[in-house]
Structure 1
Amino acid sequence: SGAVIDWPTDEGKEVWGYVTVREDAHMFWWLYYATNPCKNFSELPLVMWLQGGPGGSSTGFGNFEEIGPLDRDLKPRRTTWLQAASLLFVDNPVGSGFSYVNKSDAYAKDLATVASDMMVLLKTFFDCHKEFQTVPFYIFSESYGGKMAAGIALELYKGPACLAFSGGYKGPWWVLSGLGSILSLPTKLEMTLSGLSNDVAVLYRVRKATYTFLFQNTDGVNFYNILTKSAPVSAMKSSLEFTQSHLVPLCQRHVRHLQSDALSELMNGPIRKKLKIIPEDCSWGGQATNVFMNMERDFMKPVISIVDALLETGLNVTVYNGQLDLIVDTMGQEAWVRKLKWPELPKFNQLKWKALYSDPKSSETSAFVKSYKNLAFYWILRAGHMVPSDQGDMALKMMRMVTQQE
């Protein structure tokens, strides 16, 4: 399984390293210890954050654009989740961010491999950081990360013995996010799936046509936040980087927005210099396109049955969604939730949405929530696909509620 290389900072509040999860497959992780002035990190949960794509980088985007201690300008983030939890960012699947493969056949091609790779990483991590074996563990995720979180969570639940936890391990708990467009396929399309011989190109073409229609008729709406416009992608970049035409718009939508020039410069410049352990021939995000391409056949497969299995265990499952997200819209989220076979679903559906306020002094509604037994659904207002980027205060409040700190 390989060894973990820790490189602590002078403050001792963060460590990072690689785990060889399979031969020629090396996964990068970065841990920050919680920095609450009133509580020791051991009194707070551990949150693992998984980015989407597949191919997006948690250690880059989730860390510096959403919930980490510093923003992209390396200034302190007021709404960092470190106030309420220790944070574990993992560049997953292998090839995302600073994770890398030595051979082209070492990329993950399905959810089962993504989950089994993460089992190796988590076992190594918890063996080396026994201080986290006795705190609650939550998986938070975004976009395609929600699909991966579901698969990883179920594997974690089915095989906790293999992780060799000792003491009073209280996990796992997790949050699923951004599953709407992946899980909610039109009914007619679902009926034809069996006749496609697993050729997902048809599904991609349907999505491409939808994207094109919306983009052309909305003056270039940003699919990740409908109140903004998309940045144009040059035709030269598209022709150089992609060979399968039906994947071009998908990869651009799901990965490229996570790989902005400014973030790439930060990660391949100052951050790479700080980390000191990144191989010379590994650039941050350099293998992201290959990650996406290798997951092609798995991309459109629904995982509603996995969510059902998670609910059946009695473990807590939470879905959250930004109101202004188009690529994974709230209606799509509600649509796949309605397909759950969970026996308690009728009672969940009967509930009215409860208003939430991120500022106790303000009467402005920040979100709505439904919660029944071990299923919760947060609908975040004025937020797009990247909820913590758009509504940092509400995202932090939601995290505190999910981790039972409010």
Structure 2
Amino acid sequence: MTGTAAPTDEGRLVHLGIGNFARAHTLVATDRAGGWSVVAFTGRSAAMADALNAQGGKYGLIVRGAEGDEVGIVDVIDAVHPADDVDALVALLADPFTAVVTLTITEKGYAAGNDPATSAPARIALGLRARREAGVEEPIALVSCDNLTGNGEVLRKAVLEAADAETRDWFDAHVDVISTMVDRITPSADAGASELVRERTGLDDQVPVVTEPFTEWVLEDRFRGRRPAWEKAGVQFTDDIELHELRKLRLLNGAHTLMAYAGQVAGVERVDEAIGHREVRALVEQLWSEARSTLDLPEDQLDAYTTALEERFRNPRLADQLVRIAADGSVKLPVRALPVIAERGGPENAPGEVAAVAAWTAWVTDRVRAGEEIKDPKADGIAAAAGLEDATERVTALLALLDVPAGDALIGAVVAEEARLPRA
């Protein structure tokens, strides 16, 4: 089977890991596409199944803009099962009417092993075995919607490891595994969310969803079987998902990382305050200029993306705490900042990215010396390095945790930039 199939007006989508993000993002797009029904399975807790089934699968969606809320009802779910209802999932995947499986199971869900009792990929493998044994020839698509680079390959590997030999041999001819890039901020619903849905829509909703106006979903364009007409909801299809992942990583995540550290060093606590701080904002713009030069995308697309990012960052009604975003800097900087510095030809050509690294070294030093917690897998090494008195020795030790070798030009650049950072 080759080629890409056109979207169809009807079909069934099975979703694993029904939570706030899926209900604010992928299921909204499926609802707007029209014609498709959804059967969902919960994650760790079965409580969501009970709540949604009691409401006939309907739930309220609150889109929280800077000026006010838009409230609507999403009505696309037929039924919700607890995660451990393996028989229900196997029967659904063996049914030819099921053409797409989407997942939001978090990164840990892909490493849950091969026991169907505890592993979503293992349950999918069982369902695919039943589909093979039933003689279903129509392709089925597995679509990871988790925030992981190369999420389709992660999913493929996990399912194949749990599958029997016959299903592994059958797999490529009958299963498409689709990588995606997803983006929509979805905080927990506040205490007044249910009442707001009731006032605006009349729905007595125990599990409303709150989200931001911005939404983006980019999928690989290689479905051979049926799929919803997601393009009706603004979903993009691409032959180069890696480029879109890189755009998000270097522009959205890179700016978040810079603001998390530089904002706190400058004395602010939230994202909207950081982007509104004149000097921090200037650093973000410099970082964007450098990162954009490494992305092979049209200027108008990059302009639209950074404009949307700034609007999102400035939304005071969805403002995130910088200290939360600041976690795990030793993991984030090597993939968000250091590659841009290298591609730009060194720290002298990437002052905005250098500022992100310097803001991290300054922030962790301040935190350690104030006796405050740092959430990072290398927290012990950070504490030891931050305690060094000599600035060059301290920065050398901190950057060694990012695998920057002693004597690298970045060390001197970071020491110099620390002194230029805006301070509270």
Quick one: higher RCO (CA 8 Å, sep 6+), 1 or 2?
Answer: 1
TM-score (norm 2): 0.29
TM-score (norm 1): 0.30
Higher normalized helix content (fraction of residues): 2
Tell me which structure has the larger Cα radius of gyration: 2
